[in-house]
Structure 1
Amino acid sequence: MASQRVFQLGLRRAVAPSFRIQPAGRMVQRRFAATENAAQSDGTQILAKQRLQRPVSPHLSIYRPQITWYGSALNRVTAVVLSGSLYIFGISYLVAPTLGWHLETQSMVAAVAAWPVAAKIAAKATLAFPFFYHSFNGIRHLAWDFGVGLGNKTVIRTGWTAVGFTVLSGLYYTFLV
């Protein structure tokens, strides 16, 4: 569409002098570039000088951190932790008979029962907090997929709600279950 408009304007300008009429529409600004032949090394130097004169776009350092940043990053980290743990355990379970490891349920229950209480709590917390955060944030993202809760205040509120539910659920499953 735009190319047709440019073509029509150009055609009108070309015909206008012969009929002594003014062309309709806006004037197209023309810039004539000065060109010269330069060696490759000279071109590289010119480009380097031009890059020094360019303004630097704002970086993350000028922005105030927000729950959406941390929520997005934490959601990805928890996904990696949970899926990585699953893959490591799954591969270990598959190669256990070959290596002589005992990863059947009875052996694992007996091994964990022998752990000190602090190690049990640390293991439960290491799995509970990422699991619950990823679950609650996943529900939040599913709501966004349906177009629910996309306002700025709602996004912030649901982000902190996911964090709150994660803390409560993580503590409950770490210490009481």
Structure 2
Amino acid sequence: MEREKVYLLLTDTGTMFTRMIKLYTRKPYNHASIVFDQHFNEVYSFGRKRPRNPFIGGFVNEDVRQGLFKNARCAIYSFDATEQQIDKMKAFIHKIEMEKHLYRYNLLGLITFIINKPYQREHAFFCSEFVAQVLNKGGISQLQKPISLVSPNDLQNMKNLQLEFEGQLADLLDNETTNQVYPIIY
């Protein structure tokens, strides 16, 4: 059975909102996205719909070449998935995309996350909760906790991940033109 790479993009954009999250988590990355192509055009998450306002959020197809991502530090991990697994993950994302007006960023979920109480809201996700649900729909996830308590660090610690890149996201994207798409930087 043929397998393709799928990527997890973990970032630290350095905004005030992410610095507050980082104070609590004490982890280097506080935003998670799932990526379906090596050129980072299919990047999905739950986050800001308007870059200057962290409180207006929801489902986003992220453009990692501009806005908050321009100065972001990142870690990119890959895993192999079958065509069937990818189709299931993309179908779940497509359904949300078609109904994105119904979906919200799960601020309440961040509060219940802090107090370690699972709480799944309908039509609402925070970034790592969304990515965990996508992985679950594709039969990929082996996380041992409720999806509403999954952090970017939990995703980073999943088995069968391969570190592809760590450093400034802009450095990775600049290297696309030199055919050196994924230099691993420690």
Question: Same-fold call, TM > 0.5?
Answer: no
Higher strand share: 2
Output the TM-score relative to the length of structure 2: 0.20
Query: Which protein is richer in helix relative to its size?
Result: 1
Structure with bigger gyration radius: 1
